[in-house]
Structure 1
Amino acid sequence: MSHAIQHLLIGGLIIMTTGVSTVTKANDLKMTIVNPKNLYDPTPNGYSTAVIVPSNARVAYISGQGGQDATGGLSPDFAVQVRQAYANLRAALDGLGARPDQVAKLTIFVVDHDMSKLEVLTRNVKEMFGNTLPAQTLVPVPKLAIDPMLFEVEAIVMLE
């Protein structure tokens, strides 16, 4: 796919774009990252505007991973929970035989979100995904499945 896509159909919305990069997989599956030049550049904040998964790819859905360690322990510290949740997401990817650059979409849930938490979130997502930033949605919530949980991340993954 060229670096200059003229029209991209996403959910019935046509977006004019020239900012497209393609991540090539070993068996020629290509996930295309789209960051239209006429929209705010989300990459400094650790995500991409849109990701296209090819129609011939298998897709896996990873349920929400919280900050529990292997014993079920949960730190009261937000940054520790975020770091552990991404470690848990990595373990789930490993279980699928997938890599972080195969993640197309993240949805993250943050209890009592405020702007002070963005630095922690951005740092962790960039550490895990590098330059292959998935599409991402942050959902502020009043609470999660259990009271001490402050963070949860779920993922949609393209499998080879």
Structure 2
Amino acid sequence: MQIPTITKIHFNYTENCLILGSIGSFLSSGDLPTFKRITVSLLSIQPANLWDSSPYLFSQVVRADEPTRLAFISGQVALSADGSLVGEGDVDAQLKQIFSNLRAALAGVGGTLNDIASVTLYVKDVSYHKNYMNLQREEFAGWRPAETLVQVPSLALPELLVEIQATAVL
């Protein structure tokens, strides 16, 4: 079993607790807002079965721990673990590799495709969405994450046809 590379950082942020109450009653009451400090750990993870993105200064996966575990998966493209292009000119082959990469990224943080809450698809041609939907039926086994589709003129490499970014709740 290959071990993912993990980099851990911590940060603090202040959350306005008024989100649970009514802004109108707050404004009319004259009370001062209450705040609480929450510490969140962010882990930058390079799953062993994905190509190494560190030379490009981004993480394949970032997992946020406490109070909720979230995984933010960088846009996955049709690159194999060794960084070579899969399926030049073949949108179905590229999508299959992308789903393989998504599975590897999620496995690196203890998740599965069914943990994905939302995806953003970047496509060179909107007609590729039909290919995505056909594969999605198999890959997500009935689960339907929130989805955004964006047509773009180009991706990181000219041979790429599709890129999928995902956010998962673990």
What TM-score comes out, normalization by structure 2 length?
0.57
Counterparts of 2:67 and 2:134, CA distance in 1:
32
Counterparts of 1:92 and 1:114, CA distance in 2:
25
Where does residue 134 of structure 1 map in the other structure?
A: 145
Where does residue 24 of structure 1 map in the other structure?
A: none
SS at match of 2:95: helix
Structure 1 residues 33-72: aligned runs within 5 Å:
56-72=67-83
Where does residue 51 of structure 1 map in the other structure?
A: none
> 1:102 aligned to 115, 121, 130, which one?
115
The alpha carbon displacement at 1:56 in A equals: 4.9
Counterparts of 1:71 and 1:100, CA distance in 2:
22
SS at match of 1:156: strand
SS at match of 1:96: coil
> 1:73 aligned to 76, 84, 88, which one?
84
The alpha carbon displacement at 1:118 in A equals: 2.9
Query: Gapped runs of 5+ residues in structure 2?
Result: 1-65
Structure 1 residues 105-124: aligned runs within 5 Å:
105-111=118-124, 113-115=125-127, 117-124=128-135
Q: Determine which structure has greater relative contact order: mean sequence separation of CA pairs < 8 Å that are 6+ residues apart, divided by chain length.
A: 1
Counterparts of 2:138 and 2:77, CA distance in 1:
17
SS at match of 1:80: helix
> 2:100 aligned to 87, 102, 110, which one?
87
Counterparts of 1:139 and 1:118, CA distance in 2:
10
Where has structure 1 moved over 4 Å in runs of 4 or more? none
Where does residue 146 of structure 1 map in the other structure?
A: 157
Query: Gapped runs of 5+ residues in structure 1?
Result: 1-54
Report if the CA contact (8 A) 2:102-2:113 is conserved: no
SS at match of 1:148: coil
The alpha carbon displacement at 1:73 in A equals: 2.0
Most deviating of 121-130 and 133-142: 121-130
The alpha carbon displacement at 1:99 in A equals: 1.4
Counterparts of 1:79 and 1:126, CA distance in 2:
14
The root-mean-square deviation of aligned C-alpha atoms, in Å, is 1.6
